[in-house]
DNA sequence: CTCGTTTAACTTGCATTCATTTTAAACCCT
DNA sequence: AGGGTTTAAAATGAATGCAAGTTAAACGAG
């Protein structure tokens, strides 16, 4: 019999802070002070500092001259993350094509139908959920643990950014056919084709994100202008 | 003017341990005890523990039930790392093709000639050095900071593994023409072709590594058998 | 009111100390 | 000698204490 050792405090604090950052209870750019957090959580500063080091290595917080702040991704950062995703998800689907069973594939086709429904109903949260499911499934079917680890880190950062700057960017329904194209390539057991389609899909996604971002910034600038003139 | 704050101890310890692991002064599987290291470095345990958390997050050490050990990669792990490399380096060369200047390209061609010389002279350390230079250059020309970060982490782990299990696996000279093919594609400014060739190159590398590994294991098993019979 | 100085609070980094658990060695009894 | 118990050493986890530096507020002189 194995007796489980309880999870150490620094690990619990790490998870708690990580979640708080991803759920925006702690906002990007916000400063983190070990003593303050230790006080809030009623623990000593030691474990809090250890948690900081983990978050720092993960990229969720920055440490510049001893000043700890929640990571604030720039557009450049997000584009770089997308480029990395292109590489990693292409490899994912390449190997997933080798390993996925017919049942697993059918499941994804089914989920795709649900996504279509959700798009028609303009149920955005559901669309996002299903879209995430699509990508995460394929990554997990790659049977590559490291790929999964890297992708989960990246997803955190992209997720953080999206929720930070604007609630969601409204993607059109074009991605449905792209998803279908990827599944079709898997069905035909053509890993390279599947990878190619995944690449294009994510590049498209990236470009839409970029456009939406710039549009958003423009609007913001306009608002600033109006504000200035009325002052 | 900026006055630089001195580097904190935990950071120095992190770097020191990291290097020690990569240079095999600390061997894979070896247990790390914070109090012992603190004693050796004549510091307190606090900063050592913070360094541990960074190394842990980076994947260089494992933490199972509070027992900290240097990461021992399995063959599966290394193959997974190679698969990840395929994705990341393909993306690297894709973007490097956009950004590399003629001078930078010429420099790599020149380095390739040197590699050929080194291969002829069977100067293995030089070959390895130049090979690493080739790949790292392309990653850096991608102008993607995150890509560079991920690749440096991965390189550490692969490096660790190679040096651990056997000193070096002896790759044939075939990779020279593959490198040349990649550079040619960059010269023609064909990002997709360059990416494709990089993929194939790394997959080839991976397969050779695998073969070499299994051969090595076989020999080891034989030696074990002989040992048993003579006991 | 503004600029500069003083000073108090805060923050970080590191060391020391303590409690608990784990490991290993010594010991004893049969 | 073998097996089990006792006990001492070591290791982890966490709290507290302290020094040095930074920030910011209070204060006062011009």
Q: What is the CATH number of the domain that holds A187?
A: 1.20.120.530
| Residue A205, pLDDT score | 84
In tens, the pLDDT along A62-115 reads 998 889 999 988 888 889 999 999 999 999 999 999 999 999 999 999 999 999
| Residue A224, pLDDT score | 62
Residues B136 and B50 in one domain: no
User: Is residue A231 included in any domain, yes or no?
Assistant: no
| Residue B43, pLDDT score | 94
| Residue B2, pLDDT score | 56
Residues A46 and A64 in one domain: yes
User: Is residue B224 included in any domain, yes or no?
Assistant: no
Residues B115 and B131 in one domain: yes
In tens, the pLDDT along B53-94 reads 999 998 899 999 889 999 988 888 889 999 999 999 999 999
Supply the DSSP symbol for B6.
Answer: P
Chain B residues lying within 8 Å of A147, measured CB to CB: 80, 83-84, 87
Residues A60 and A129 in one domain: no
Percent of chain B surpassing pLDDT 70 = 87
In tens, the pLDDT along B92-151 reads 999 999 999 999 999 999 999 999 888 888 787 788 888 889 999 999 999 999 999 889
Residues A63 and A79 in one domain: no
For chain B, the residues whose C-beta falls within 8 A of a C-beta of chain A are 5, 8, 10, 46, 49-51, 53-54, 56-58, 65-66, 77, 80-81, 83-84, 86-92, 95, 142, 144-147, 150
Question: Are the C-beta atoms of B186 and B96 separated by less than 8 Å?
Answer: yes
Q: What is the CATH number of the domain that holds A14?
A: 1.10.10.10
User: Is residue A3 included in any domain, yes or no?
Assistant: no
Question: Are the C-beta atoms of B214 and B87 separated by less than 8 Å?
Answer: no
In tens, the pLDDT along B193-207 reads 999 999 999 998 888
Residues A133 and A51 in one domain: no
Pairing verdict, β A61-64 and B67-70:
unpaired
Give A52 CA → D11 C1' in Å.
23
User: Residue ranges of chain A with pLDDT lower than 70?
Assistant: 1-5, 162-173, 219-231
Distances (CA, A) of B132 to B47, B82, B92, B157: 33, 14, 14, 14
User: Is residue B225 included in any domain, yes or no?
Assistant: no
In tens, the pLDDT along B34-53 reads 999 999 999 999 999 999 99
Please state the domain count of chain A.
2
Last residue of a domain, one of A48, A70, A92: A70
Question: Are the C-beta atoms of B192 and B94 separated by less than 8 Å?
Answer: yes
User: Is residue A222 included in any domain, yes or no?
Assistant: yes
| Residue A166, pLDDT score | 45
User: Is residue B86 included in any domain, yes or no?
Assistant: yes
Distance CA A76, CA A84 (A): 12
Instruction: Reply yes or no on whether the pLDDT at B186 is more than 70.
Output: yes
Last residue of a domain, one of A18, A50, A70: A70
Residues B130 and B30 in one domain: no
Confidence of residue B165 (pLDDT cuts 50, 70, 90): very low
Instruction: Reply yes or no on whether the pLDDT at B228 is more than 70.
Output: no
Distance CA A139, CA A224 (A): 42
| Residue A225, pLDDT score | 63
Chain B residues lying within 8 Å of A38, measured CB to CB: none
Best of B18, B62, B80 to disrupt the A interface (most A CBs within 10 Å) is B80
Q: Which bases of chain C come closer than 7 Å to a protein CB?
A: 10-17, 21-23
Q: Outline where B23-123 has alpha helix (H).
A: 34-41, 45-58, 75-99, 102-120
Give B127 CA → C24 C1' in Å.
49
- Whole-prediction pTM value? 0.82
User: Is residue A172 included in any domain, yes or no?
Assistant: yes
| Residue A43, pLDDT score | 93
Q: Give the structural domain span for B13.
A: 9-70
Distance CA A201, CA A179 (A): 8
Last residue of a domain, one of A70, A99, A117: A70
Which neighbouring-strand residues pair with B67?
A: B64
Residues A147 and A43 in one domain: no
Mean pLDDT confidence for B2-24: 87
Q: How many CA atoms lie within 13 A of B215 on its CB side?
A: 9
| Residue A145, pLDDT score | 92
Q: Which residue has the higher pLDDT, B93 or B155?
A: B93
User: Is residue B20 included in any domain, yes or no?
Assistant: yes
Residues B62 and B91 in one domain: no
| Average pLDDT for chain B | 86
The DSSP string of A154-222 is HHHHHHHHHHHHSS-----TTHHHHHHHHHHHHHTT-HHHHHHHHHHHHHHHHHHHHHHHHHHHHHHHH
Residues B15 and B58 in one domain: yes
Percent of chain B surpassing pLDDT 90 = 57
Give B148 CA → C14 C1' in Å.
33
Residues A95 and A209 in one domain: yes
Distance from CA of residue B18 to its chain's centroid? 13
Residues B170 and B121 in one domain: yes
Question: Are the C-beta atoms of A124 and A166 separated by less than 8 Å?
Answer: no
| Residue A93, pLDDT score | 97
């Amino acid at each position: 019999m194995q007796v489980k050792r309880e999870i150490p405090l620094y690990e619990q604090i790490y998870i708690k802070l990580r979640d708080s950052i991803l759920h925006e209870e702690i906002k990007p750019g916000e400063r983190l002070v070990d003593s303050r957090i230790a006080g809030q959580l009623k623990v000593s500063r030691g474990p809090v500092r250890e948690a900081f080091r983990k978050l720092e290595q993960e990229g969720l917080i920055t440490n510049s001259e001893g000043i700890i702040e929640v990571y604030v991704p720039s557009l450049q950062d997000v584009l770089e993350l997308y480029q990395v995703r292109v590489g990693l998800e292409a490899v994912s689907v390449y190997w997933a094509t080798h390993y996925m069973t017919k049942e697993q594939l059918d499941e994804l086709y089914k989920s795709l139908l649900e996504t279509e429904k959700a798009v028609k109903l303009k149920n955005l949260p559901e669309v996002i959920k299903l879209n995430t499911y699509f990508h995460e499934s394929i990554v997990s079917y790659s049977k590559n643990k490291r790929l999964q680890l890297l992708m989960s880190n990246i997803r955190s950062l992209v997720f953080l950014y999206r929720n930070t700057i604007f609630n969601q960017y409204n993607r059109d329904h074009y991605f449905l056919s792209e998803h279908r194209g990827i599944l079709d390539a898997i069905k035909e057991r053509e890993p390279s084709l599947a990878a190619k389609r995944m690449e294009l899909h994510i590049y498209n996604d990236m470009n839409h994100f970029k456009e939406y971002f710039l549009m958003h910034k423009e609007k913001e600038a306009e608002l600033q202008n109006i504000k200035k003139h009325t002052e």
